[in-house]
Amino acid sequence: MSSPSPSAYDENETPKAGPKRTGEWPLFEVFIRGQHGLSHRHVGSLHAPDAAMAIKNARDVYTRRNEGVSIWVVEAEAIHASAPGDKEALYDPANDKVYRHPTFFDVPDEVGHM
């Protein structure tokens, strides 16, 4: 059997418009509560067609080894984040304000570990 002969490249031919791919599922961020009493922590992300399926997928992807007692999923695009470029303005001013840390109080010994 021989391979089919290649057709000559025609630069004037408009490329065929293939069907547009619309199949990408939205991205969800996954938060898991490890134990009762702890807060939910971000553990990663995954794709799913909807929120209900995202929870199921999160159960399979992130709680296989008994990691959690509760799952939250949030569509990634619903999360608003600070801009990395604003880092200096946002965080640097706090650097030299040590008085904001509650380290200037003498804690009586009887209080023990706080």
Q: Which residues pair with 44 in a beta bridge?
A: 30
For binding to other proteins (CB under 8 A), which residues are involved? 25, 46-49, 52-53, 56-57, 59-61, 64
User: If you compute the radius of gyration of the chain from its CA atoms, what whole number of angstroms results?
Assistant: 27
Please report how close the Cβ of residue 28 comes to other proteins at its closest, in angstroms: 10
CB-wise, 65 or 80, nearer to other proteins? 65
CB-wise, 33 or 53, nearer to other proteins? 53
Amino acid at 90: L
CB-wise, 47 or 78, nearer to other proteins? 47
CB-wise, 11 or 24, nearer to other proteins? 24
Please report how close the Cβ of residue 69 comes to other proteins at its closest, in angstroms: 15
Please report how close the Cβ of residue 17 comes to other proteins at its closest, in angstroms: 19
Please report how close the Cβ of residue 56 comes to other proteins at its closest, in angstroms: 6
Measure Cα distances from 10 to 16, 59, 91 in Å. 12, 51, 58
Cβ density class 86-113: b for 16+ within 10 Å, e for less: eeeeeeeeeeeeeeeeeeeeeeeeeeee
Q: How far is CA 101 from the centre of its chain?
A: 30
